[in-house]
Structure 1
Amino acid sequence: MVKTPLTVNGAAMLRAELHRLKTVERPSVIAAIAEARSHGDLSENAEYDAAKERQGFVEGRIAEVDSKLSTAEIIDPTLLDAEGRCVFGATVDLEDLSSGGRVLYQIVGEDEADLKAGKISISSPIARALIGKYVGDVAEVQAPGGVREYEIIDIRYI
């Protein structure tokens, strides 16, 4: 079985979503189906069809989140001893060598990636280029506009 890396925060987000789906969404959909059934003929009942479609989505998402949590390898970045290397969970301060701009990214699992929040997926090109590097190293990233170079300014495990 393939383990999927998740940070502690990412696992907590998935657990919260699963709880919401099971305790709020599922009962809401069941009530909507019951309400639509009370209207009579189901063959031309758009409310019933929409509620059944929503139920399929909710049940599918519950199964998906359950599966992700069961195969998750939860990693706490604060407990890492990576000896200064860039690894999963690390927060990396980078300088773009062409523009001089600085960015701060945390390398996280695919489900918790959010570029606006500075969280990049472990499978993204920039994260793959950073893994294994140390402070002072330059990572070359193949971007749509060509190769971009980033110097690693700092690596933290927070």
Structure 2
Amino acid sequence: MSRAFVKEGDGALDPLPDLPQSPHPNHVTPRGLAALQSRLHALQTTLAALKSRTDRLDKLPEAAAERDIRYIEARLRTAILRNPATLPLTEAAFGLCITVADEDGTETRYEITGEDEADARLNRITPQSPLARALLGAQIGDEVIWRKPSGASPLTIVKIAHADP
């Protein structure tokens, strides 16, 4: 077999491709910024531990940690800190918690956060989500329409509050 097309390497991996960055502005709350910084520190610690292994035959975990560090560093460089604690509670805005009631009167509380902080289990939604777009700018007592794939749902704004730190 010809060895003309065999890549002879030094055992190092090429860097993994970067993770895609969002095209949206990277607004973050103070809590979201702290979480990104904590995540970066944890990844740097993990990478240091991986590089200190005596058996480093598998370099893929190191490459993955380096890729993830590049992603978090880019997110931190583009972060636009917005402190919701300074906002009045007169209308739904980034970083605030909005309690809504559906047609049955069931109340649900949502928090509009940055993309890295969003978590459906905690009802933390991004400003680009259909629900957040419906809520932003609404005031207590306003009815908004949440356009979902299953159909439009009317929601009434019940309360606007600061998020728990």
TM-score by length of 1: 0.83
> In 2 relative to 1, CA 3–143 (structure 1 residues): closer, same or farther, beyond 3 Å?
closer
Letter of the 2:27 partner, please give it: P
- Please provide the CA RMSD for this pair: 1.7
Match of residue 156 from structure 1:
161
Match of residue 123 from structure 1:
128
Flag as ranges the 4+ runs of structure 1 deviating above 6 A.
Answer: none
Match of residue 92 from structure 1:
98
Shift of 1:124: 1.1
Shift of 1:58: 0.5
Letter of the 2:147 partner, please give it: Q
Alignment of 1:20-59 (within 5 A): 20-22=42-44, 24-32=45-53, 34-36=54-56, 48-49=57-58, 52-59=59-66
1:112 aligned counterpart, secondary structure: coil
Percent of pairs with identical residues: 30
Of 107, 111, 114, which aligns to 2:112?
A: 107
2:152 aligned counterpart, secondary structure: strand
Structure 1: segments with no counterpart, 5+ residues: 37-47
Shift of 1:101: 1.1
Cα distance in 2 between the residues matched to 1:3 and 1:124: 14
Structure 2: segments with no counterpart, 5+ residues: 1-23
Letter of the 1:62 partner, please give it: I
Cα distance in 1 between the residues matched to 2:120 and 2:27: 18
Letter of the 1:35 partner, please give it: D
Looking at secondary structure, tell me which structure has more helix per residue: 1
Match of residue 41 from structure 1:
none
Cα distance in 2 between the residues matched to 1:117 and 1:145: 22
Alignment of 1:68-79 (within 5 A): 68-79=75-86
TM-score by length of 2: 0.79
Shift of 1:3: 4.0
How many residue pairs end up in the alignment? Answer: 141
Of 125, 140, 155, which aligns to 1:135?
A: 140
